Homo-oligomer: A and B are copies of this chain.
Amino acid sequence: MILNHMVEFQAPHLDAVFHALSDPTRRAMLHRLTDGQRSVSELATPFNMSLAGASKHIKVLEGAGLVRRHVQGRTHMCQLEAARLAEAQEWLRTYERFWTSRLEDLEEILREEDRATAQAAGKLPEKPSTPENTSRRQK
């Protein structure tokens, strides 16, 4: 529970990171940066888009902390900054158990039966499942 809190709230970047990743142009840009630094115009060229448009995308990536920029003269060099990607992966790791093992399916089924019985036992409470009262079976 405490860990969940940490994952959910100790990473206040997730909104920005996931949003940045939701655009294919930006994902492609990140991917090109795995090969090394690229200037803004280098990053822009493969895309059928104005330089200003590409520049905006880069700013989104920068804002999400996925790219760092070093200005050298008139060219802005962009570099992949992976830390926030690690945070995103960490968030996803919480859900790994839902695809890694069929054992988890069984666990899930048991939980379901549990719920079903509880529901059959009586009326649903008025606030049936706030985070506070669903800790019945904590991890």
Contact = CB atoms under 8 A, between A and B. Distances in A.
Secondary structure class of chain A's binding surface, majority of residues: helix
A73 interface: no
Give how many copies assemble into the complex.
2
Contact of A129 (B15, B32, B129): B32
Given A4-B31, A128-B42, A37 B98 contact: no
Interface string A38-64: 100010011000000000000000000
A26 to B, nearest CB: 10
Interface string A111-124: 11011000000000
Contact of A85 (B45, B92, B112, B127): B92
Given A19-B19, A36-B108, A130 B95 contact: no
Contact of A22 (B18, B46, B92, B96): B18
Contacts of A45: 127-130
Given A18-B19, A45-B130, A82-B98, 14 more contacts: A8-B28, A14-B24, A18-B18, A18-B21, A18-B22, A27-B91, A31-B94, A32-B129, A36-B114, A37-B112, A45-B129, A80-B95, A89-B89, A89-B92
